[in-house]
Structure 1
Amino acid sequence: MNRINQLFSNNPKDLLSIYFCAGTPILDGTANVIRTLEKHGVNMIEIGIPFSDPMADGIVIQNAATQALRNGMSLRLLFQQLQSIRQDVKIPLVLMGYLNPIMQFGFENFCARCAECGIDGVIIPDLPFKDYLEQYHPIADKYDIKVIMLITPETSEKRIREIDEHTDGFIYMVSSAATTGAQQDFDEQKRAYFKKIESMKLRNPRMVGFGISNKATFDAACEHASGAIIGSRFVTLLNEEKDPEKAIIKLKELVTR
């Protein structure tokens, strides 16, 4: 069974997934960040593939991607860094990146390398759902790579149900149509959106992302989904501390106190 499916089968609530950008704060620190996060009880990790035009990301993750590219990070190098990660890391690992560098690498080659390294899923925010169904779904399935699709408050119920029917792993529930970035709390409109999606009784579990930064937002996400994805807040702490252990300890204090 794919590790993503196993995670949601065994631990259906209050899951914590962390995003960070590969190649930051230092070029060769990617594997260390992953191992440190697992050591501190993180349930799943999203590893960002840096790109020069990350359209869904706020300034924090944009800056991290820019720094990673300046450090020399590339998709080819990332796969080299992850080659032996499954010798000791057991939790699900998901690559998050934009279509351009993946297409330059070649989608089937990309999926094959993911499988070799033990990557369980991918998130490609600018991959149209129609293109996924027609061109990419069979290839991803061949290598047991779960393609995780995003939904927002603007996504129609019809499209949500189509995504639920034709994907596997989990659904990434974006808290708003804005870019990534920390928020202090979720307003009633966002909470109503969470409740609405929960009431649809979808086949796939859901994780809430964008704006999760403290206990209030983490608890609100977990109330109506399987868990939360934290990106910008951790990326900020990692940049400030230059030490993944100090960064994740501070983050967990923020979301639990």
Structure 2
Amino acid sequence: MPQNNIQFPASSTQPKLLNIYFTAGIPQLENTAEIIKLIQDSGADMMEIGMPYSDPVADGPVIQKAHELALNNEMTISTLFSQLKSIKNDIRIPVILMGYINPVLSFGFENFCRECSESGVSGLIIPDLPPVEFEKNYQQILKKYSLNFTFLVTPETSDERILYLDSLSSGFLYAVSSSSTTGSENTVLKNENYLNRLSALKLKNPVMIGFGIKSKEDFENVTEKADGGIIGTAFVNILLNNKDWRIKAIDFINSIKN
């Protein structure tokens, strides 16, 4: 079983899960471990850590800026693994690494998975890894190292493809709230038809909704028919734009959970 395996609510009346995303290596290179502990101690149920990349095409301007800053701070995959290993025994919630396939392939896919396993990582999200390639070349390696892998679906994804991606995913299925980049002002948070469609498909994985959640009200709206929500841009904004980001980050997570 993956490490720190995700415990989803058993019924619709239980609290929905909060997943917080941030980019490794911001505001400063050495802040990553501190932010991981802050997210956990503030009550989040899991976290996604973004691996900086020079061309993050699926991300909006805020997270693009975070990637640029992290790379300027000389954050690398090796550095991230070293930081994760230093606090591995202190982390009690699932840690998921999110990023693009090119840096992972440059690192060596199996070597990357081995390092994930040794660093306490429970799963991966790599949006630009094609499902056919995943099945053919990578699925068995992930199983070997007991790592979950999550695919993304959008309102435009057909029912047939949603079921296919759900069959390949483990941990959870990432439902993008609308077809936009992260943090887009055009994000449609509560797409009733889409959420009803996902609910009716009887998916094997829990569903987490992401993109555009900025407040407790947003979180509650999108999770009425989902198992949890993912917040990225709003949290990264705090890290990028506040000298007192520690206090504001804690307050932000508390405002969603409490």
TM-score (norm 2): 0.93
Partner of 2:229: 228
Q: Which moved more, 1:142-151 or 1:241-250?
A: 241-250
Query: Do the aligned partners of residues 163 and 184 (structure 1) sit closer, same or farther apart at CA in structure 2, a change above 3 Å counting?
Result: closer
Alignment partner of 2:22: what SS?
strand
Q: Is 2:21 the counterpart of 1:19?
A: yes
Aligned partners of 2:247 and 2:214: how far apart in 1?
16
1:89-104 to structure 2, matched below 5 A, reads 89-104=91-106
Q: Does the Cα contact within 8 Å between 1:185 and 1:217 map onto a contact in 2?
A: no
What is the CA-CA distance between 1:183 and the residue it aligns to? Answer: 5.0
Aligned partners of 2:232 and 2:225: how far apart in 1?
19
Alignment partner of 2:157: what SS?
coil
Partner of 1:144: 146
Partner of 2:176: 174
Query: Do the aligned partners of residues 30 and 243 (structure 1) sit closer, same or farther apart at CA in structure 2, a change above 3 Å counting?
Result: farther
The residue identity in structure 1 corresponding to 2:36 is: I
What is the CA-CA distance between 1:216 and the residue it aligns to? Answer: 2.7
Partner of 1:106: 108
Q: Which moved more, 1:30-39 or 1:212-221?
A: 212-221
What is the CA-CA distance between 1:255 and the residue it aligns to? Answer: 3.6
The residue identity in structure 2 corresponding to 1:134 is: K
Q: How many residues align?
A: 256
Partner of 1:66: 68
Partner of 1:206: 207
| Higher percent of residues as helix | 1
Aligned partners of 2:105 and 2:192: how far apart in 1?
36
Note the residue ranges of structure 2 that are not aligned, 5 or more in a row: none
Query: Do the aligned partners of residues 60 and 37 (structure 1) sit closer, same or farther apart at CA in structure 2, a change above 3 Å counting?
Result: same
The residue identity in structure 2 corresponding to 1:122 is: L
Partner of 2:80: 78
Aligned partners of 1:109 and 1:244: how far apart in 2?
34
Q: Deviations over 1:29-77 (max 9, x none)?
A: 1110000111110100100000010011000000000000001001111
Structure 1 vs Structure 2 CA RMSD: 2.1
What is the CA-CA distance between 1:5 and the residue it aligns to? Answer: 4.2
Q: Does the Cα contact within 8 Å between 1:37 and 1:245 map onto a contact in 2?
A: no
Partner of 1:7: 7
Percentage identity across paired residues of the two chains = 44
Q: Does the Cα contact within 8 Å between 2:117 and 2:147 map onto a contact in 1?
A: yes
Counterpart of 2:57 (choices 55, 58, 62) is: 55
What is the CA-CA distance between 1:85 and the residue it aligns to? Answer: 2.1
The residue identity in structure 2 corresponding to 1:194 is: L
Q: Does the Cα contact within 8 Å between 1:19 and 1:235 map onto a contact in 2?
A: yes
TM-score (norm 1): 0.93
The residue identity in structure 2 corresponding to 1:132 is: F
Aligned partners of 1:93 and 1:10: how far apart in 2?
21
Aligned partners of 2:96 and 2:77: how far apart in 1?
14
What is the CA-CA distance between 1:4 and the residue it aligns to? Answer: 5.9
Aligned partners of 1:83 and 1:187: how far apart in 2?
36
Q: Which moved more, 1:207-216 or 1:105-114?
A: 207-216
The residue identity in structure 2 corresponding to 1:172 is: Y
Q: Is 2:176 the counterpart of 1:161?
A: no
Query: Do the aligned partners of residues 52 and 2 (structure 1) sit closer, same or farther apart at CA in structure 2, a change above 3 Å counting?
Result: same
Alignment partner of 2:192: what SS?
helix
What is the CA-CA distance between 1:199 and the residue it aligns to? Answer: 1.5
The residue identity in structure 2 corresponding to 1:111 is: C
Q: Does the Cα contact within 8 Å between 2:9 and 2:16 map onto a contact in 1?
A: no
Note the residue ranges of structure 1 that are not aligned, 5 or more in a row: none
Query: Do the aligned partners of residues 118 and 187 (structure 1) sit closer, same or farther apart at CA in structure 2, a change above 3 Å counting?
Result: closer
Aligned partners of 2:35 and 2:50: how far apart in 1?
12
Q: Does the Cα contact within 8 Å between 1:83 and 1:116 map onto a contact in 2?
A: yes
Query: Do the aligned partners of residues 187 and 107 (structure 1) sit closer, same or farther apart at CA in structure 2, a change above 3 Å counting?
Result: closer
Aligned partners of 1:187 and 1:212: how far apart in 2?
7
What is the CA-CA distance between 1:84 and the residue it aligns to? Answer: 2.5
The residue identity in structure 2 corresponding to 1:169 is: G
Q: Does the Cα contact within 8 Å between 1:183 and 1:212 map onto a contact in 2?
A: no
Q: Does the Cα contact within 8 Å between 1:25 and 1:242 map onto a contact in 2?
A: no
